[in-house]
Amino acid sequence: MSRRTKASAVDLVPARLYGLRKSTTVVLTIISSLFAVFVLAPLVWLLINATKDQADVYGSFGFWFAGPFRLFQNLAGLGQDISGAGIFVNWLGNTLLYAVVGAIGATILSALAGYGFARFQFRGANALFFLVMATLLVPITSLALPLFLVYAKVGLVNSIWGMILPSMVSVVGIYLMRTYIEASVPKELIEAARIDGASELRIFIRIALPLSVPGLMTVLLLTVVAVWNNYFLPLIIFSKNGLYPLTVGLASLSQAAETGSKADLVPVLITGGLVTVLPLIALFLVLERYFRAGALQGSLTG
């Protein structure tokens, strides 16, 4: 047994210690299994149908393979402007740019704001924090028109910064970082550093950030997913196909497939959906241990 397997076995807590009966455990296991099937079924469908041609997509069972195997031809189709709307690779590059730059900026700003709310006492701090949290209650659709008018005034329509700048503001990230810093960065340690003459910036960089890595990774992961899946904002600000992210690009590809004017476009669209979700799955697997630690810490203190 490997060291990691042994460590995982030690972390497991028997169900009896939670006071759960065996029947309750069985019911919860069944519910969890059904939920897993519900979540994984679309991904399995994408994986299977990405290997088919258009006739087999419509004429065969959706959850089983059918010949001929056309996965590589469908992948090659993603590199061609077969829809007249743009190239998938270009949309993928745009999405990576928006997600990476926006997520890094959101993580930095959330860490700064969360540290300020958690470790600085000033008049109106709680009121300001609650005001920031209240923005979560505002529906994004109600901001569509004023957002577009503001963007038009400052020249951010059809600009990559029009997508990146709003993505760098994460209200959920601010809440998570405040919660995590309150729990993981002792006040006594900060006071000791101040007595030793360390500046606030040095304390933040050398003490707060290293102790908040799981929280930072959690905010980074959540922001990447949010920007990656963002459809409404780019739909408003972009009218040029070359600036589309995957969400809007695949929607335009779907419209071309519905018209029936392009041959074998549906399998390419399905393959594009599969390729779209794979980077997020890979990112989650890489950051899973940080995400689990950050979420657990937030649940214990929030």
Q: Percent of the chain having pLDDT more than 70?
A: 84
Beta carbons of 110 and 170 less than 8 angstroms apart: yes
Residue type, 214: P
Beta carbons of 262 and 82 less than 8 angstroms apart: yes
Tens digits of residue pLDDT in 143-198: 888 888 898 899 889 999 999 999 999 999 999 999 989 888 888 899 999 898 88
CA distance 165 to 131: 20
Task: Report yes or no on 260 lying in a domain.
Answer: yes
Residue type, 13: V
State the chain's mean pLDDT as an integer.
84
In total, how many domains does the chain have? Answer: 2
| Residues contacting 171, CB < 8 A, separation 6+ | 132, 133, 135, 136
CA distance 88 to 144: 26
pTM of the model: 0.83
CA distance 25 to 288: 25
Beta carbons of 46 and 273 less than 8 angstroms apart: yes
Task: Report yes or no on 7 lying in a domain.
Answer: no
Residue 194 and residue 58 in one domain: no
Q: Answer with the one of 33, 50, 77 that is the final residue of a domain.
A: 77
Range of the domain at 276: 88-301
